Amino acid sequence: MSENNSSDLEQQMTDLAEVEDAKLQNKGRSLSQNQLVLRRFFSHKPAVLSLIILVFCAVMAFSSLGYGPIPGWWDKTHTATGPVIDGGRPTMFQNGQILGEHPFGQTQMGQDYFAQVMYGMQQSLIIAFVVGIVSTIVGVVIGALAGFYRGWIETILMRLTDVVIVVPLLVIAAVAGQMVGGRVWLLALVLGLITWTGLARLVRAEILTLREKEYVAASIAMGSSAWRIILRHMVPNSIGVIIVNTTFSIAAAILLESSLSYIGFGVRPPELSLGFLINYYESASSTRPWLFWFPGIFIVLIALTVNFIGDGLRDAYDPRQKRVGDRRPGLLRSLGLRNRRAEERVAGAGNAYGTPGTATHPVSASEPKGNTMRFWRKK
């Protein structure tokens, strides 16, 4: 109703400035950029679903066994052995019970595998998030300094970045992992210190474009210090790039840690991680396949959900990706199972030239909705 009133009013006014001022008066609550981003994020269904799953996994991992002195609700530990029941088969959803005695089964030595997987997941999540945070901090600092100061500072920092990039990641990670001797927090810190390169380059590029913005020029002209410009103007305005890449680096860290532990250079006993579990019980995978499947499923689940959250954040931050009504990505479409636009094109292609059914209207590569690769990872 108010919509109609305001448009009637517009017609009576004869000055664009008046119309604009009236529109401003009629506006409701203001939303900051962050609030807008959050709103867009929460309308991205796959991302929200992923967030729920990830939070559920994390809560389950930490609450079941507890962390440090805090006790959990699961009565077994990952080290204690017990009698092997029914060949160690999982009891989940067996004989009308939901979890049963050993929901994920038991190892050859009779340890409860649910406890082991939960413990491994704790360690993997800790590593993933610490790596994400450390690499983000290092990447942002180096990228921002290089982009803002230019000159010799940039040369030194960017050549340093190049040096870190050209060394194969797995090799340097394996050497570093060997040195820290399997301690989880240290391993995470070290992995964080070698995976910041991509973000540093992205942040530098972002800062370079922000340098040319007039609000930065205005701030310099007002006499503000370099630190103020970097911290108040530049970093907050590149937060989109930073957050999105942090999520992707978390997903990458999960995989890196798994591969490292799998080849034996990462987490070592008495500590556990999901990758370590796969490595350790590899030989048993034919006789006791659940020992392989459960940690595997959780690795894939964490990496996938973090990736989807990153996708959601990217779409929410990227102003070019205008989401419209029913064009918001549904769950099926983002999984590639359904593509409404493709169906439309085929239906309307009867009169077009060229091969029937392949005609498209001009869709440029910059047009996000026209890009079928857009749910692929953007690096």
Is the distance from CB of 48 to CB of 312 less than 8 angstroms?
yes
Out of 63, 178, 219, 259, point to the residue binding another protein (CB under 8 A): 219
Among positions 279-338, residues that touch another protein (CB under 8 A) are: 322-325, 327
Out of 15, 69, 73, 337, point to the residue binding another protein (CB under 8 A): 15
Minimum distance, C-beta of residue 220 to another protein, in the bound complex (Å) = 6
Out of 1, 2, 4, 30, point to the residue binding another protein (CB under 8 A): 30
Q: Which helix (H) or strand (E) holds 352?
A: none
Is 350 a binder of another protein (CB under 8 A)?
yes
Pick 63 or 321: Cβ nearer another protein: 321
Among positions 39-78, residues that touch another protein (CB under 8 A) are: 40
Alpha carbon 71 to its chain's center: 29
Out of 42, 56, 67, 215, point to the residue binding another protein (CB under 8 A): 215
Which distant-in-sequence residues (6+ apart) come within 8 Å of 215 by Cβ?
A: 233
As a whole number of angstroms, the distance between CA 367 and CA 365 comes to 5
Is the distance from CB of 312 to CB of 50 less than 8 angstroms?
yes
46 C-beta neighbours (distance < 10 Å), count: 23
Is 178 a binder of another protein (CB under 8 A)?
no
As a whole number of angstroms, the distance between CA 38 and CA 51 comes to 13
Is 151 a binder of another protein (CB under 8 A)?
no
Is 95 a binder of another protein (CB under 8 A)?
no
Alpha carbon 61 to its chain's center: 19
Out of 233, 268, 288, 314, point to the residue binding another protein (CB under 8 A): 233
Minimum distance, C-beta of residue 372 to another protein, in the bound complex (Å) = 15
Is 154 a binder of another protein (CB under 8 A)?
no
Is the distance from CB of 310 to CB of 244 less than 8 angstroms?
yes
Residues in the chain, how many? 379
Residue 59 tokens read as: 């809560």
Out of 71, 82, 87, 348, point to the residue binding another protein (CB under 8 A): 348
Start-to-end Cα distance in the chain: 45
Site size toward another protein (CB under 8 A) is: 53
302 C-beta neighbours (distance < 10 Å), count: 26
Chain contacts with another protein (rule: CB under 8 A): 7, 10-11, 14-17, 19-21, 23-25, 27, 30-33, 36, 40, 213-215, 217-225, 228, 233, 236-237, 322-325, 327, 348-354, 359-361, 367, 369
